[in-house]
């Protein structure tokens, strides 16, 4: 039974059911038994028919495509075909008979037309999915015909069908199929399978998709009124083929397709709001929506900071129990140039791996800080990743000076980075291979740990049995430029990410597990079972992907608020923090254009809208907008003050907030532009290899 449910693609049920329901409700302004019956049919049986027939006839070709399986298409062995046909007949025939009896004749024709389109797409002799151009049109009909059926089943005369809406929907469907076909060009051509993309090539097919989405936008604009909001979100689809036009690679095609899948959720949400307002089911005014969004976004950010401070501060509080907590951060900051005093010891051995590439200026501080740890059972491995500034020699000198009696400390050469690896992942993996202990702490060379840091992280690992413990260090911001640029990272991490919830859930689900690169402690067995850095070697966000690798393997993830345990100074030179947003923005959005757009939208709502709304209220002399805007502004100020206090930020960083918000968003949008152009980010003089989502 579960196999049949998976075969029907549950995530796609709404794609056929919602067009039917929306169209029928628009005519009837209510839900009749017939509409409910039709909705149930297009929710599950129709999808089982459409995708089940596809799986029956696509087994051989799907085996040749490594993307197939799960969301990318099912694999149905030949011995399961009879079961599939039986399931299709049992779920489809009774409902189709009832609909044919109860629905108007035109509605019955539309429903049966949808069934025919679903069958001929995959089944011979027509099998339109392998006939270029016919494949895109037939695929689009799978979603347009249920909408037409909804109008007609609800009693709308065929001559009064809203052809502008249906035509725009058809154009959108053709464009979407063409977009999805681009990523399979190589596989389809190798297997001799015809498609619009294998016939035209990547760029011409992307041009077809661009034209289809453009027609959909124009159709929505032509409707006027509330449909303009729908047109705005539909315009985002134009970015997807644009990226392929600018960089026609398989990786770009896959990124566009994954972005399409998530963009559907955003578009569906906006269009649903438009429909609710159109039907009179929502009376929210634009002012109320604007003010409510500002208040809600600012409140959520404030609550996030408080929750993260309360839940993740437990380990930090344990650190204060040593009598050093209040001064730990100050000690760590001083160790950017010097060392401090030692405290108590814990017996379990720990290896600290410090990957470095051109970090000669930073290594003295981090090695001195490690020498001052109150966790004495340490070995230190500095991994040189092709440095050109003498980092390896500096590391050897500092180890000899600060830890002359430590017999296991050493500096190793990571060796040439193999293709398919990012530099940091390769250096970390090399350090892990050299480690002799059960627990290994990956420590960035730009991070200075306070004396209890290693001990506390090791204690959390031992006490909880976690496979990975990540300490979220604080940022040093001694200059105005750092206060402008780095504050955006802090606001995003603690204002957006539910770290507290991820910690309580031990990193479940794996799709949202989180790790923080400067301080990552792993247990050897968990690292080896999960595959470690080698499971995602090309990652441009190796910390997050390492955490998700552990979570997928069933290993527990724990997070520690480490504001008193370590200080990180990523970008001391100029505008490095803002340039980092350009390099990392798209990567940390999972390589998804939609994810980055959603991030920017949330930042606008929570960081800038609370400032704009009260001003707008005063300009419009709107008392409600002004009052609600002042509430949102108060919440925003509270968020920044609490965050600044929790993260030990200079007060000036809070005052720079509007500049920080605008600059952060601008550089994230540059990251989006770079992604669309297929420009590989550069880090430490090396281009990061393109990731295939």
* In the chain, where the domains are located: 1-161, 313-569
Which residue shows structure tokens 């552990």? 550
Q: Residue 588 contacts by C-beta under 8 Å, 6 or more apart in sequence?
A: 541, 544
Which residue shows structure tokens 């199929």? 177
Distance CA 564, CA 562 (A): 5
**Phi, psi (5° rounding) for residue 509?**
-75, 160
Please check whether residue 40 is in contact with residue 146, taking contact to mean a CB–CB distance below 8 angstroms: no
Q: Residue 224 contacts by C-beta under 8 Å, 6 or more apart in sequence?
A: none
Cα angle: 129, vertex 135, 137; to 5 degrees:
145
1-161 CATH fold: Tetracycline Repressor; domain 2 (1.10.357)
Q: What is the dihedral of CA 268, 274, 275, 278, to 10 degrees?
A: 180
537-574 b/e (C-beta count within 10 Å ≥ 16 → b): bbbbbbbbbbbbbbbbbebbbbbbbbbbbbbbbbbbee
Distance CA 455, CA 423 (A): 28
Please check whether residue 450 is in contact with residue 339, taking contact to mean a CB–CB distance below 8 angstroms: no
pLDDT the model gives residue 191: 83
Which structure tokens are listed for 320?
């204060």
Please check whether residue 452 is in contact with residue 343, taking contact to mean a CB–CB distance below 8 angstroms: yes
Assess whether the region 1-161 and the region 313-569 belong to the same CATH fold.
no
Strand bridging mode 682-683 / 686-687: antiparallel
pLDDT the model gives residue 309: 87
Q: Residue 528 contacts by C-beta under 8 Å, 6 or more apart in sequence?
A: none
Distance CA 500, CA 390 (A): 41
Q: Residue 111 contacts by C-beta under 8 Å, 6 or more apart in sequence?
A: 38, 41, 96, 99, 100, 103, 149, 153
Q: Residue 362 contacts by C-beta under 8 Å, 6 or more apart in sequence?
A: 336, 356, 445, 446
Please check whether residue 474 is in contact with residue 647, taking contact to mean a CB–CB distance below 8 angstroms: yes
Which structure tokens are listed for 208?
């077809």
Distance CA 237, CA 231 (A): 10
Q: Residue 167 contacts by C-beta under 8 Å, 6 or more apart in sequence?
A: 215, 219
Domain 313-569 homologous superfamily, CATH: Spore Coat Polysaccharide Biosynthesis Protein SpsA; Chain A (3.90.550.10)
Averaged pLDDT, groups of 10, the chain, 693 residues long = 69 88 95 96 94 82 54 62 92 96 96 97 93 96 96 96 97 97 91 92 98 98 93 96 95 92 90 91 86 96 92 56 40 42 54 95 95 90 94 95 86 91 92 94 96 93 93 91 90 90 87 91 96 90 93 93 90 77 86 92 96 95 94 97 93 94 95 90 62 48
- The residues with which 449 forms a beta bridge, in sequence order, are 566
Cα angle: 145, vertex 237, 233; to 5 degrees:
85
Distance CA 126, CA 662 (A): 54
Strand bridging mode 447-449 / 519-523: unpaired
Q: Is 321 exposed, middle or buried (0-12, 13-18, 19+ CB in 10 A)?
A: exposed
Cα angle: 505, vertex 636, 273; to 5 degrees:
75
Which structure tokens are listed for 392?
């390896």
Task: Please report, for residues 5, 147, 644, the alpha-carbon distance to residue 249 in angstroms, rounded to integers and kept in the order given.
Answer: 34, 34, 43
């Amino acid at each position: 039974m579960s196999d049949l449910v998976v075969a029907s693609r549950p995530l796609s049920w709404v794609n056929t059911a919602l067009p039917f329901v929306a169209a029928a409700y628009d005519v009837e302004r209510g839900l009749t038994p017939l509409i409910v019956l039709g909705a149930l049919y297009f929710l599950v049986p129709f999808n089982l028919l459409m995708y089940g027939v596809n799986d029956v006839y696509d087994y051989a070709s799907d085996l040749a495509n490594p993307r197939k399986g799960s969301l990318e298409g099912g694999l149905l062995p030949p011995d399961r075909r009879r079961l599939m046909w039986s399931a299709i007949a049992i779920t489809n025939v009774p409902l189709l008979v009832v609909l044919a009896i109860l629905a108007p004749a035109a509605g019955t024709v539309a429903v049966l037309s949808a069934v025919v389109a679903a069958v001929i797409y995959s089944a011979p002799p027509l099998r339109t999915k392998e006939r270029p151009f016919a494949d895109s049109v037939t695929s689009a009909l799978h979603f347009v015909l249920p909408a037409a059926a909804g109008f007609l089943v609800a009693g709308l005369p065929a001559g009064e069908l809203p052809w502008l809406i249906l035509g725009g929907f058809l154009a959108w469907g053709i464009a979407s199929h063409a977009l999805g076909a681009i990523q399979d060009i190589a596989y389809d051509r190798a297997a001799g399978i015809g498609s619009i993309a294998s016939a035209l090539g990547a760029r011409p097919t992307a041009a077809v998709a661009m034209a289809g989405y453009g027609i959909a936008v124009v159709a929505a604009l032509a409707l006027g009124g509330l449909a303009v909001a729908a047109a705005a979100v539909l315009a985002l689809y134009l970015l997807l083929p644009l990226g392929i036009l600018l960089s026609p690679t398989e990786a770009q095609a896959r990124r566009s397709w994954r972005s399409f899948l998530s963009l559907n959720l955003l578009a569906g949400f906006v269009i649903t709001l438009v429909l609710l307002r159109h039907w009179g089911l929502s009376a929210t005014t634009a002012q109320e929506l604007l003010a409510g969004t500002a208040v809600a976004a600012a409140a959520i950010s404030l609550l996030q900071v408080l929750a993260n401070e309360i839940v993740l501060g437990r380990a930090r509080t344990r650190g204060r129990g040593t009598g050093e907590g209040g001064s730990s951060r100050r000690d760590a900051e001083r160790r950017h140039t010097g060392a401090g005093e030692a405290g108590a010891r814990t017996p379990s051995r720990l290896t600290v791996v410090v990957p470095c590439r051109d970090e000669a200026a930073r290594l003295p501080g981090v090695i001195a800080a490690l020498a001052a740890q109150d966790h004495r059972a340490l070995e230190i491995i500095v991994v040189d990743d092709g440095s050109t500034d003498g980092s390896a020699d500096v590391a050897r000198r500092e180890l000899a000076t600060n830890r002359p009696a430590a017999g296991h400390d050493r500096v190793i050469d990571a060796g040439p980075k193999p293709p398919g690896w990012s530099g940091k992942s390769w250096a970390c993996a090399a350090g892990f291979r050299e480690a002799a202990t059960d627990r290994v702490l990956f420590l960035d060379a730009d991070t200075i740990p306070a004396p209890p840091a290693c001990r506390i992280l090791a204690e959390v690992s031992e006490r909880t049995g976690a496979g990975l413990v990540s300490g979220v260090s604080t940022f040093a911001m001694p200059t105005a430029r750092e206060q402008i640029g780095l504050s955006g990272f802090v606001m995003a991490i603690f204002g957006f990410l539910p770290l507290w919830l991820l910690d309580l859930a031990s990193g479940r689900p794996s799709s949202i597990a989180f790790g923080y690169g400067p301080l990552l402690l792993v247990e050897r067995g968990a690292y080896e079972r999960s595959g470690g850095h080698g499971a995602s070697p090309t990652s441009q966000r190796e910390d997050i992907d390492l955490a998700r690798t552990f979570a997928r393997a069933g290993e527990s993830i724990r997070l520690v608020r480490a504001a008193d345990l370590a200080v990180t100074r990523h970008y001391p030179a100029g505008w490095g923090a803002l340039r980092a947003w350009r390099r990392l923005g798209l990567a940390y959005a999972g390589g998804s254009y939609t994810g980055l757009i959603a991030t920017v939208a949330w930042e606008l709502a929570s960081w800038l809208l609370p400032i704009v709304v009260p001003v707008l209220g005063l300009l419009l002399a709107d008392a409600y907008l002004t009052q609600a805007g002042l509430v949102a502004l108060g919440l925003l100020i509270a968020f920044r003050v609490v965050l600044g206090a929790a993260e030990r930020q200079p007060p000036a960083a809070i005052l720079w907030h509007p500049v920080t918000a605008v600059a952060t968003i601008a550089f994230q949008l540059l990251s989006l532009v770079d992604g669309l152009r297929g420009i590989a980010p550069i880090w430490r003089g090396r281009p990061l290899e393109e990731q295939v989502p």
